[in-house]
Amino acid sequence: MKQGYVHSIDTGGMVDGPGIRYVIFLAGCSLRCKYCHNPDTWKINRDKETSVQELITDIKKYRSYLKFSGGGVTITGGEPFVQSGFLIELLKACKEEGFHTVLDTAGHAPLHIAELALRHTDLILLDIKSIDHDTYKDLTGMPLDRALKFLGLSEELKIPVWIRFVLVPGYTDNFDDIQKLSDYLQPFTNVQKIEVLPFHKMGEYKWKDLDIPYELGDVEPPSKEVLERAKAILEIK
């Protein structure tokens, strides 16, 4: 069994997929999102090395209430594909134990690697920061193309997807761009839900603790009216 770096674990997650989830936050991220609330996950070697078997042994302790709630295991980060070998083995082991698996990702993986992971994935939570290439690059430091190719692969493999879109005033609240994102997503038959999440600064203190400049200190959360309009535009027709 491969060894990997796990940043933290939440044994009662309620927002990372259906039911109650055992949520594993893997260390390491290839993106540098300006609004990231977990910058402490960016580096891969700050955390203790853990084996797949150690994790499975612990997950099995929670089998009864995970199953009763219709939940399972969610693997997130960071960006889980930074530790792709460990991720694939962990997903496979979870499926072998009968757990429902959710992969929370920005889709930043070569497609041949992504396909190996998706063979053992029941649901994808896919973060799409913006449909505008320049805005996406500005927010994350990475190109948009890989995320869109990942979405295309997920449809080919018929893996259900929940899209996550963070509404950041001054960055992703342009309604023309939101409409373009909606138009892009509507044809995908595997996209079951589009979640619009309001920008928040609950992780700002982590940036300060890590001595990383935080550019969005003056940005306030979106108004209720703007949030509701974005949700209406992105609603699956």
pTM assigned to the model: 0.95
CATH number of the domain at 88, please.
Answer: 3.20.20.70
Q: What is the pLDDT of residue 1?
A: 55
d(C-alpha 122, C-alpha 101), whole Å: 5
- E-assigned strand segments in the chain: 3-13, 21-26, 49-51, 72-76, 100-105, 123-127, 161-167, 191-198
d(C-alpha 82, C-alpha 85), whole Å: 9
What confidence tier does 236 reach under pLDDT thresholds 50, 70, 90?
Answer: confident
pLDDT in tens, 184-209: 999 999 999 999 999 999 899 999 99
pLDDT in tens, 56-112: 999 999 999 999 999 999 999 999 999 999 999 999 999 999 999 999 999 999 999
d(C-alpha 38, C-alpha 150), whole Å: 23
CB 149 within 8 Å of CB 111: yes
**Total tally of structural domains belonging to the chain:** 1
Run of H or E residues at 173: none
CB 141 within 8 Å of CB 186: no
153: containing domain: 3-234
CB atoms inside a 10 Å sphere around CB 45: 8
Mean pLDDT of 122-131: 97
More confident residue, 45 or 144: 144
